[in-house]
Every structure is written in structure tokens, then in C-alpha cells.
Amino acid sequence: MKNRLITQSTEYDCGPTCVMNALRFLYERHELPPALIKEIWLLCNDTYNANGEMGKRGTSMAVMRYLSYWLNDYGQGCSFPIHAEYQSKEKAVIVPGSRCEECLRAGGVAVIRCWSEGYRHYVLLTTLFEGGRIGLFDPYDEPDEEVSQAPGLEIVHGEKDYNIILPMSTLNMDDKTNYALGETPDREILMIWRKSPAGD
């Protein structure tokens, strides 16, 4: 049985929640090792805010990059069927033919760092639709039509794998539009695939 995707527990844990949701999306509950879950929560929320409070600036790009290596090492060392790739800056694009689109087309998922109401935020891309539209799960809470504004945004209720559908073009915008990746230096995408034991 697969777990349902979850919302974040605090204002700051969108990063680990999205990585956890990636695993919940890709694997059955009985397949997920407790050690894998523990490590994700230990690594994330590594930043400090202006008052020196740990975790209150969320999860750093450095940790997301490290997670891509760690997940691959864990998969190889523990024979767990997983593959991760991290892209940043000019490589972090969501356009036809991009690595991210290939990931979604192959049944993988992607954690992206985007804008949301003027703040940096992580969401999980889960579903690729025809016509260049993508289904994503925003872990913050049930999306609100009055707050969630972005070109082509469709709020979805009752689906377990996504709560928003957006055009690929909106995600790839280089400004602070909601759900846009934003300017090139601050972009990042963590892609995760389920691999068979044979590596397919």
C-alpha cells in the first residue's frame, strides 16, 4: 500500500516533506526502510535565521545537492532501488526535452525550489500531462484560490498525487511568480527515480 502525500508540520519543513513525499509516491509503505526516513529528517532544515534559530530558514541548496549523492550511495550500498540527480543554475530548467521532463515521463518525481508568496519554497512535481502541463503537490496546505495566483494555475481537489496543475512555462519563469523557479543562480531541481534491482 502506498502512503498518501503529506503536508508540512511547520512553516519551515517543506524541503524534507517534499523528499519524504517523493518516497511515498514512488514506493509502497512496506518497502521504505526506517534508516532512509531517519536520515532525510536529520539532514534537512540545516539553516539559521537572522536570530540564530536553527532550521528557521528551511533547507539549504547544499543539503539538497548532498541528498542526491547520499540517496545514490544508500541505494548502491543497501540494494535499494533508487536513483537521484541534482541540477542547479542554468541546468535547472523545466522545458520540453529537459532532464526534468524526462524524469517525469519515466515515472520519476522532482523536488523543485520555487517562489511562493514572496518566499522560497519546495514543492514536488509528480505528473506530466499532455500540452506541457505538470501536476505538483504543494506541501504547505490545501491551496487557496484567493492566494495561489500564477499564470495558468489550476487548483485541484481530491487527487492524491497533486493539488495544483501548472503550465511548464510558468514553472520555468525567471521572476518571483508563484511556483516559478526564478533567477538562474538560485534554481535547483532534485530528481528521484525508482530503479528496479536490475537498474532499469
User: What is the mean predicted confidence (pLDDT) over 174-189?
Assistant: 96
Q: What are the grid coordinates assigned to 196, written together?
A: 528496479
Residue-wise pLDDT for 106-136, tens only, equals 999 999 999 999 999 999 999 999 999 999 9
Q: How many CB atoms lie within 10 A of CB 41?
A: 13
Cβ proximity of 28 and 43 under 8 Å: no
User: What is the mean predicted confidence (pLDDT) over 143-149?
Assistant: 67
In this structure, the dihedral spanned by the alpha carbons of residues 32, 135, 16 and 91, taken in order and rounded to 10 degrees, is 110
The answer on pLDDT for 20 being more than 80 is: yes
The answer on pLDDT for 149 being more than 90 is: no
DSSP code of 186?
Answer: G
Angle between helices 14-26 and 61-78 (to 10 degrees): 30
Tell the residue number behind the cell numbers 524534507, with chain if given: 16
Predicted local distance difference test score (pLDDT) of residue 76: 95
Q: What are the grid coordinates assigned to 76, written together?
A: 548502491
Per-residue pLDDT band for 146 (boundaries 50, 70, 90) equals low
Residue-wise pLDDT for 71-93, tens only, equals 999 999 999 999 999 999 999 99
Question: Who's near 171: CB < 8 A, 6+ residues apart?
Answer: 94, 112, 114, 125, 134, 179, 180, 181
The answer on pLDDT for 197 being more than 60 is: no
The answer on pLDDT for 156 being more than 90 is: yes
Q: What are the grid coordinates assigned to 70, written together?
A: 547520499
Predicted local distance difference test score (pLDDT) of residue 143: 67
User: What is the mean predicted confidence (pLDDT) over 146-173?
Assistant: 91
Q: Against a cut of 0.75, is the pTM above it? A: yes
User: What is the mean predicted confidence (pLDDT) over 188-196?
Assistant: 92
Per-residue pLDDT band for 1 (boundaries 50, 70, 90) equals confident
For residue 20, give the nearest of 111, 119, 97 by alpha carbon.
111
Write the secondary structure of 29-88 as one string of H (helix), E (strand) and C (coil).
HHHCCHHHHHHHHHHCCCCECCCCCECCCCCCHHHHHHHHHHHHHHHHHHCCCEEEEEEE
Per-residue pLDDT band for 170 (boundaries 50, 70, 90) equals very high
Tell the residue number behind the cell numbers 549523492, with chain if given: 69
Predicted local distance difference test score (pLDDT) of residue 196: 58
Q: Identify each DSSP E strand in 89-132 by its residue range.
A: 109-116, 119-129
Sheet arrangement for strand 133-137: 82-88, 188-194, 109-116, 119-129, 133-137, 164-167, 154-155
Predicted local distance difference test score (pLDDT) of residue 147: 61
User: What is the mean predicted confidence (pLDDT) over 58-64?
Assistant: 95
Tell the residue number behind the cell numbers 505538470, with chain if given: 134
